Amino acid sequence: MTVKIDENKCQGINNCGTCFDACALNMLQDVDNTPKPKVPGCVDCGLCIIACPSDAISK
């Protein structure tokens, strides 16, 4: 299972990007300015969830 990103809450990579910086395994990809978890790859560690200031990422 990977993380889920609420596109309505997400500020976008260009405006924020803290989830990208927090992901130790570089398992987020930029899809039209929205972060998307790489599947397979994301190990569901939750670092991006903790880092997101918009509460846009959940399990």
Which CATH number goes with the domain that contains 53? 3.30.70.20
Tens digits of per-residue pLDDT, 42-54? 999 999 999 999 9
Q: What's the number of domains the chain is made of?
A: 1
Say how many Å lie between the first and final Cα of the chain, rounded: 8
* Distance between CA atoms of residues 17 and 5, nearest Å: 13
Which neighbouring-strand residues pair with 35? 30
Length of the chain as a residue count:
59
Which residues constitute the domain of residue 15? 4-58
Residue 5 in contact with residue 29, Cβ under 8 Å?
A: no
Cis status of the peptide bond prior to 40, with omega within 30 of 0: yes
pTM over 0.85, yes/no: yes
Tens digits of per-residue pLDDT, 24-36? 999 999 999 999 9
* Distance between CA atoms of residues 36 and 6, nearest Å: 10
